Structure 1
Amino acid sequence: MDIAERYIRLAHAIDAHAPGFIDGYGGPEAWADRTVRDPQTLRAEAQDLRARVQGVPEAERRQWLEVQTRAMHTMTRLLSGEKMPYSDEVRGLYDIEPRRADLQALEANLRTLEAVLPGQGTLTARKAALRDRVTVRPEDLLRVAEPILAELRARTHDRFGLPQGEGFRIGLVSGQPWGGYNWPLGNLQSRIDINTDLPVTLTALPDLMAHEGYPGHHTEHSTKEAELVRVRGWHEHHLQLLNAPECVVSEGVAVNALDAVMTRDEVREWLTGDLATVAGLNPEDVAAAIRVNVATSTMKGVSGAAAMLLHEDGAPEAEVLDFLQRYNVVDETHARKNLEFITQPHLRAYIFTYAVGSDLVRGFLAGGGQAAFGRLLREPLTPGQLASVQPAAGGSPATPQT
């Protein structure tokens, strides 16, 4: 049996015990075998697959499969009842180190926010009031997103190319722990869902569309399917796993996607100009929201720190909610949505893919720019490979997008 078929069959067997482990699949239906086997059997199969991967002749393919199958083995250990520290769970699934927040830096960010936020009252109230003034109504979201996607697609096509026949559909959902999601469907197609449970601001919409669509998740998945599956015959890339190192790279690509096609000044001009007009919002409010986004751009590790408090330290839920409210500067409703994410079985360790993946990709881009981003869209790179080429201390990774 081919290594890709073994990999895909084992993934589906794991998913039969842990639905959601597979994020997307577009390969042969016969390989999507969900015959239930006990976790100990799956654990032995995962160990055997790890050994077989060592015989893959192509180094690039082998290195990627090594970390992916290590994650599968970690999943089978968890399914078989093995107890492991939360940090080891993160390392085993994602090939990265979980991070704790720098509380002094977070407090400094709050002081910066105090100076930037307009209005009177608490930080949370002032931030919420500004957010409400730049929120796009759910009934307007798809209309406002349309010109954003058109511009992002054109720029992505010009800079990186797009596979012929790629595409996605977009819709609105509710009752989810995330803000947006890209579902790979195979055959170069995706479905993008936007969650309307919480407000979607105009200032967040270009980043969201870049993250999920162009040149983020959809672009990466369709490009790798076209080049790795259809050209090289590496059929394991028919499959996307949620709890595996590929997500660290994928989220790093998506978090940096808008930067890859637009400068900060271009985004600011776009938001306060044409997009504010399309959305029917006050450009001055939009400009103020952009300044707040800049002030909070370094607070991205709050949710991961909260996950460490909850799962590593055993802090009570009330303490974790207070932490999220204070450092994300949100009310209890928003904090509970954050908490919902980090308590989901498949997402509790996933939270670190955003901040760690973002930093790894920024470091990789610092030395290679546009060509390096193109490699990330086309090549099966691992978190460890990105970590090995980070800039030296004092280097200048790419600037966070607002």
Structure 2
Amino acid sequence: MKYILYSTLLSVLFIACTHEQKPASLDDLAENYVKLVLEIGQYNSDFVDAYYGPEEWKPTAKKQDSIPVQDFIVRAEELIQSVSDINVNDSSVLIKNRKAMFTKQLTAIKTKLEMIAGKTYDFDKEAQLLYDAEPPQYTEEHFDQLLSKLDSLVPGEGTLTERFNLFADKFIIPKAKLDTVFRVAIAEARKRTLANVSLPGNENFVLEYVTNKNWSGYNYYQGNYESLIQINTDHPIYIERAIDLACHEGYPGHHVFNALLEKNLVVDKGWKEFSVYPLFSPQSLIAEGSANYGIDVAFPGEERVDYEKEVLFPIAGLDSSKADLYYQILEIKGKLNYAGNEAARKYLNGEFTREEAAKWLEKYSLNTPERALQRTGFFDQYRSYVINYNLGKDIVATYVEANGGTADNPEKRWEVFKELLSNPNTASDLKVEE
């Protein structure tokens, strides 16, 4: 009898130990990950861009007087190790991508925490750790060549920046017409998107106008397929920005991206780590890059210009007689986008003062002095995040086109684009071998 009891006890202990040693799954780790991100977000208002997970996962403990950054770093490191320990060798490509993205998101979180604690990285290293990308570098000569092309096109007298802004002033949307223009632009972007992408029937958004921000537009995704889209009216808004922001913040940009992640990954697959979106992470490069590329997907080639001239110009009460020249100028000016990255790199690396960075932006981004200073404020707040807009767009565009989504095959372009938005991806996942 004693032998039987002893054997039974050993069996129970063996089962208990075996159970304790069972490695965690990605699903098991998701809750700890989400709670860590939300707790950090209590101390940094920019850290969490969106959350639509279980209400009971939100922090309940009283916020401390100062951020317990070292404790957070240790927890991030433990999660990184736990994710690393999970064997997915025999799993699908999708599961492998899930694990890879989980690790990269955690690496970014740890990096941001180290920065909060005082650790410094140069611009390029920071971008690589936070966004899984390597920013390209361009010389002044590269930008000077573009300025030379613009110089011969922009009419008027004075410096190129002065002439450009005087000419562009003819295309400012009057404040009284702003809401109408934006709502028409968003409705058209939504119609084009829904013709190619299936979204939950209750998807919706609220549009607001705000001031005193370092950005021009923002999507605060609310969960349950709803967004709050805010447009900053601190500075004049030009006619082309209506389609830009309608697509970028709405359709097929941030609103659609977040809705697809929520539906396909959180609701359908139960991957709860995607219920929280830490802003300073690889997810942002895909979010911003796809939002900018989505403009071209929804309004390809001349379709956009034609729509703006035929629909938005009359609503805004603008003269379209000079529109063709304006768009020709904007096309070349768009190639100056990377000048903003160079300004951020030099400023954040201590090579430029704020004033020098602003002067660079006035010259190479053709910003007004006021707008240039506002952008340095963006550098202060978001740092190397600037790469996500232009480099992110280029990475997404190259990937979509390499997979058959070329301009002459719009159906395939939408198909590849939608697939990209619906699955875990980071910049290195989308890298196309040359």
**TM bucket, shorter chain:** over 0.9
The answer to which of 222-231 and 287-296 deviates more is 287-296
> Given the alignment of the two structures, is residue 379 of structure 1 paired with residue 399 of structure 2, yes or no?
no
Alignment-derived partner of residue 11 in structure 1: 37
Q: 2:386 aligns with which of 327, 344, 351?
A: 351
| Structural mapping, 1:262-277, within 5 Å | 262-277=299-314
Q: Deviations over 1:43-68 (max 9, x none)?
A: 11000111122327521211110110
Residues 182 and 246 in structure 2, CA contact (< 8 A), matched pair in contact too: yes
Residues 192 and 212 in structure 1, CA contact (< 8 A), matched pair in contact too: yes
> Given the alignment of the two structures, is residue 30 of structure 1 paired with residue 30 of structure 2, yes or no?
no
Q: Residue 54 of structure 2 aligns to which amino acid in structure 1? A: P
Alignment-derived partner of residue 48 in structure 1: 78
Alignment-derived partner of residue 400 in structure 1: none
| Structural mapping, 1:318-397, within 5 Å | 318-344=355-381, 347-368=382-403, 369=405, 370=413, 371-387=415-431, 389-390=432-433, 392=434
Distance, in Å, in 2 between the alignment partners of 1:56 and 1:16 is 33
Q: Residue 392 of structure 2 aligns to which amino acid in structure 1? A: G
Distance, in Å, in 2 between the alignment partners of 1:141 and 1:309 is 36
The answer to which of 34-43 and 279-288 deviates more is 34-43
Q: Residue 165 of structure 1 aligns to which amino acid in structure 2? A: N
Q: Residue 17 of structure 1 aligns to which amino acid in structure 2? A: Y
Alignment-derived partner of residue 169 in structure 1: 206
Distance, in Å, in 1 between the alignment partners of 2:117 and 2:87 is 28
> Given the alignment of the two structures, is residue 143 of structure 1 paired with residue 180 of structure 2, yes or no?
yes
Q: CA deviation at 1:194?
A: 0.6
> Given the alignment of the two structures, is residue 83 of structure 1 paired with residue 120 of structure 2, yes or no?
yes
Distance, in Å, in 2 between the alignment partners of 1:77 and 1:56 is 28
Q: CA deviation at 1:144?
A: 0.8
> Given the alignment of the two structures, is residue 109 of structure 1 paired with residue 146 of structure 2, yes or no?
yes
Query: 1:27 and 1:113, CA in 2 relative to 1: closer, same or farther beyond 3 A?
Result: same
Q: Deviations over 1:105-137 (max 9, x none)?
A: 200111111122122322122211222111112
Q: Deviations over 1:135-175 (max 9, x none)?
A: 11223111011221121111111112222211111111010
Residues 42 and 76 in structure 1, CA contact (< 8 A), matched pair in contact too: yes
Q: Residue 325 of structure 1 aligns to which amino acid in structure 2? A: E
Q: CA deviation at 1:89?
A: 2.0
| Structural mapping, 1:144-293, within 5 Å | 144-293=181-330
Q: CA deviation at 1:99?
A: 3.4
Q: 2:157 aligns with which of 105, 115, 120?
A: 120
Distance, in Å, in 2 between the alignment partners of 1:378 and 1:330 is 36
Q: Residue 16 of structure 1 aligns to which amino acid in structure 2? A: Q
Runs (5+) with no aligned partner, structure 2? 1-26, 89-94, 406-412
Distance, in Å, in 2 between the alignment partners of 1:314 and 1:115 is 31
Q: Deviations over 1:203-247 (max 9, x none)?
A: 221121101100001010011101111100011111111100000
Query: 1:60 and 1:31, CA in 2 relative to 1: closer, same or farther beyond 3 A?
Result: same
Distance, in Å, in 2 between the alignment partners of 1:120 and 1:253 is 38
Q: CA deviation at 1:10?
A: 0.7
Distance, in Å, in 2 between the alignment partners of 1:176 and 1:56 is 45
Residues 177 and 315 in structure 2, CA contact (< 8 A), matched pair in contact too: no
Query: What TM-score, normalized by structure 2, do the two folds share?
Result: 0.86
Q: CA deviation at 1:287?
A: 2.6
- Name the count of aligned residue pairs: 388
Distance, in Å, in 2 between the alignment partners of 1:279 and 1:43 is 51
Q: CA deviation at 1:288?
A: 2.7
Distance, in Å, in 2 between the alignment partners of 1:162 and 1:283 is 35
Query: 1:5 and 1:328, CA in 2 relative to 1: closer, same or farther beyond 3 A?
Result: same
Residues 345 and 384 in structure 2, CA contact (< 8 A), matched pair in contact too: no
Q: 1:20 aligns with which of 23, 39, 46?
A: 46
Q: Residue 372 of structure 1 aligns to which amino acid in structure 2? A: V
